[in-house]
Amino acid sequence: MKDKSRELNETKLAGLIDVESEFKGDLTFKGSFRIEGTFKGTIASDSLLIIGERGKVEADVKVGQLVINGEIRGTLQATERVEIHDKGRVFGTILTPRLVVEEGAYLEATCQTKGSPRSGAVAANEPAGG
């Protein structure tokens, strides 16, 4: 009894905070989510978060993938990758296995690219014996 219309499609936009909108609080979502307005708080999802060119975010973020075209401040964690495009501005800390920074992007952050996406190996994170 599968309902195909209810299956999650990560490429489909599940939510949007539009240009003249402001939101404060905790945000969780499934599917992709786009922020073009202002957001302050925490964001948690296994999916894709897109910060649009006019988006301004101040948050602790834990997502699957993060694409930044606007401004974001806080601790950013992505289990797969973070992309900072040429109009993106990042202030804070980035933790992700893959980091892509386009020419022209502004990055004022501490970056840690440990591990690999979809990998169970943690041996590289263990302290050396001796």
Report yes or no on 129 lying in a domain.
Answer: no
Per the structure, the count of domains in the chain is 1
- Residues of the chain with confidence (pLDDT) below 70: 1-11, 116-130
Dihedral angle of Cα 108, 113, 117, 119, to the nearest 10 degrees: -160
Domain that holds residue 69: 29-114
Report yes or no on 107 lying in a domain.
Answer: yes
* Predicted pLDDT of residue 3: 43
Using one digit for the tens of pLDDT, what is the confidence trace for 40-75? 999 999 999 999 999 999 999 999 999 999 999 999
State the pTM of this model. Answer: 0.81
* Predicted pLDDT of residue 117: 61
Indicate the burial class of 122 (C-beta count within 10 angstroms; 0-12, 13-18, 19 or more): exposed
Report yes or no on 64 lying in a domain.
Answer: yes
